[in-house]
Amino acid sequence: MRKQVYLFELDSVRNSKAEIERAQKALFEEIILNGNSVVLSFNQLADSRGFLRSLANTDTSEQIIHMFELGHLKVAQYYRRDNTLVRTASQYFQQALSTPDSFHFSTFEGLNLTHDDIHDIHQAITFCDLPLLQQKAPNNTWNYIINVVTMVIAMSQSRFSIAEPIKSHISLHELIMLFLNSRDRLLSSLQVQPEQAASTDKLISAISNNSVHELLSNINGTLPPKSNCRTVWKNHIYEYLKKDTLYTDTCHIADLIIDLLYNYVVESGIKNVCKHYDGEAGISDSFWQDFASRLIMYWRDSQDINNSSCKVHYYQDEKPDLDNWILSSVQLAPWDTADRIIEKIDTIPQSTETYEQNHSEQIKSQKIYLNKRFRKIIGTIGASIFLFVFINTILGWIQGAVEPDFHNILILTILFAFISTIAFGIIGSLISNKIHLADLLDSLNLFKVTIKDIRVTKKQPRGISYYRKSAENENNE
């Protein structure tokens, strides 16, 4: 059964080259290999490098837009603090663009846009006026902006691109307070994780000696009551790091924890999304098992990135230029293959299962679906070729029979070529309700592309998208 999933891999703070490529692979894996719909938050839609990088290329952006229109990609509506509902991407972008001085989300960062440029983008989205932007000087910057605006307009007009929100759910401050009061439960969960190894010693030590909890408790004491802004929490962590380098590991782990808790909060606000734990966030044992598993993964990923040649994270006060991410050398997922495979989703998944429940059965089912899809395409190609050969064989036999009695061979050849074309068109029209028949050249090109798609889906890596193995035992209990 198809599930709706929220990917932590698309978090806006995961912006190194390695994380962008992982996000691309995880997105493709969920949609094509697992057969799920991926729900983005508005923050991910506007800030995630792992997602936005797909829009730098016009062909790829068209394929991404198509997935929104068919329901394979969605964006989650949400309630603002004043309880107003943000329904569409157009509404979200218009509100952000209406105050350029406080314009911080990453969609257009590093593009050296003027206030007049921001105003034109706002007008284009408000009035669906793409020609206003298309008259700008054609370059990589404006091509990317036009792709983003095209996506915003298109997905705002499709009911299949929307995921409903949950109005009352846990807040970031509430989840942080639960974290501060659950040190022993987290420590216990960390110590029993199958991924535990020497590389996690610093992580477990920082939790067991209470340094991370003390740091976050101190920050909580300096913030306004019930502060729910992730950026505010992270900025305070960076301030502690600047004061004393002895806080490096503690601040690093605290930063990862805030990012994790933030994503759990966002996930909890999406209706019908499949989580990786049972019960309520911050309360159930299953949640802390999942949190520990993800925290270890985040810790290891951050160590790998910082020790590699990949660019390390940049933060709020750093503005990457265009070359650093829009035109950077990043391997995108094969979205052209995905675009040829996907079909329209008419129903919204209502599953109450966790992500791991029936996961193996779902993957098998999706493999069967992909094989049927490819067989159907190849069968259609075979039918087109067979029909072409059959008609030409029959007409060739007739032509051979009448040729001795016909004096003008050129006229006879032209006549039978005309009859062959008409016959192929009539027969093709008669059976077009069952299958769509392409002409011979198109059929050969389609066969070549289909073979490529089969190879691509076979070679794409699995296990990139997060999966908690220990949840299998919980589901069997």
Residue-wise DSSP of 54-94? GGGSHHHHHHHHHHHHHTSEEEE-EE-TTS-EE--HHHHHH
In the block, residue with structure tokens 């049972």: 278
For residue 441, pLDDT beyond 80 = no
For residue 254, pLDDT beyond 90 = yes
138 DSSP assignment:
P
For residue 384, pLDDT beyond 50 = yes
pLDDT (0 to 100) of residue 363: 93
Q: Are strands 73-76 and 78-79 parallel, antiparallel or unpaired?
A: unpaired
CA distances from 83 to 77, 125, 231, 263 (A): 12, 24, 21, 20
For residue 407, pLDDT beyond 70 = no
- Give the pair of three-digit tokens for residue 343: 């079909």
- Give the pair of three-digit tokens for residue 84: 């107003």
318 DSSP assignment:
-
For residue 10, pLDDT beyond 80 = yes
CA distances from 274 to 168, 293, 448, 458 (A): 17, 17, 37, 26
Angle at 57 between CA 441 and CA 137, to 5 degrees: 115
pLDDT (0 to 100) of residue 474: 60
107 DSSP assignment:
G
Q: What is the mean pLDDT of residues 184-211?
A: 82
Q: Which helix (H) or strand (E) holds 40?
A: strand 37-40
Encoded amino acid at 167, one letter:
K
* Residue 78 · residue 40 · CB < 8 Å: no
Q: What is the mean pLDDT of residues 413-425?
A: 68
Q: What is the mean pLDDT of residues 213-242?
A: 91
For residue 323, pLDDT beyond 50 = no
For residue 313, pLDDT beyond 50 = no
pLDDT (0 to 100) of residue 383: 74
For residue 208, pLDDT beyond 50 = yes
3-state secondary structure of 182: coil
- Give the pair of three-digit tokens for residue 219: 């920050």
Q: What is the mean pLDDT of residues 347-360?
A: 81
- Give the pair of three-digit tokens for residue 445: 């090109």
In the block, residue with structure tokens 């007739």: 398
> 3-7, 61-65, 195-199: which has the minimum mean pLDDT?
195-199
pTM of the model: 0.87
Residue 85 — φ and ψ, nearest 5°?
-90, 125
pLDDT (0 to 100) of residue 427: 61
Ranges of H-type helices in 192-311: 201-208, 211-222, 230-243, 248-268, 285-306
pLDDT band for position 111 (cuts 50, 70, 90): confident
Tell me the percentage of the chain whose pLDDT exceeds 70. 79
Over the stretch 260-281, which tens digit does the pLDDT of each residue have?
999 999 999 999 999 999 999 9
> 157-161, 248-252, 428-432: which has the minimum mean pLDDT?
428-432
* Residue 458 · residue 370 · CB < 8 Å: no
Q: What is the mean pLDDT of residues 73-97?
A: 93
21 DSSP assignment:
H
For residue 409, pLDDT beyond 60 = yes
pLDDT (0 to 100) of residue 317: 42
pLDDT band for position 464 (cuts 50, 70, 90): very high
Say if residue 456 is exposed, middle or buried (CB neighbours under 10 Å; 0-12, 13-18, 19+).
middle
d(CA 218, CA 238): 13
pLDDT band for position 311 (cuts 50, 70, 90): very low
| Mean of per-residue pLDDT scores for the chain | 84
For residue 324, pLDDT beyond 60 = no
Residue 5 — φ and ψ, nearest 5°?
-130, 150
Tell me the percentage of the chain whose pLDDT exceeds 90. 51
For residue 430, pLDDT beyond 60 = no
Nearest to 236 by CA among 248, 245, 225, 223: 223
Q: What is the mean pLDDT of residues 121-142?
A: 92
Encoded amino acid at 88, one letter:
T
CA distances from 68 to 9, 26, 192, 312 (A): 19, 17, 40, 31
pLDDT (0 to 100) of residue 226: 85
Q: What is the mean pLDDT of residues 59-77?
A: 95
pLDDT (0 to 100) of residue 341: 92
pLDDT band for position 288 (cuts 50, 70, 90): very high
- Give the pair of three-digit tokens for residue 342: 């996907």
In this predicted model, which residue has the larger pLDDT, 362 or 321? Answer: 362
Q: What is the mean pLDDT of residues 188-194?
A: 82
Residue 415 — φ and ψ, nearest 5°?
-60, -45
d(CA 443, CA 452): 14
For residue 425, pLDDT beyond 70 = no
Residue 96 — φ and ψ, nearest 5°?
-70, -40
> 73-87, 310-324, 351-365, 389-403: which has the minimum mean pLDDT?
310-324
Q: What is the mean pLDDT of residues 203-217?
A: 91
CA distances from 126 to 18, 149, 158, 186 (A): 35, 10, 16, 47
pLDDT (0 to 100) of residue 202: 84
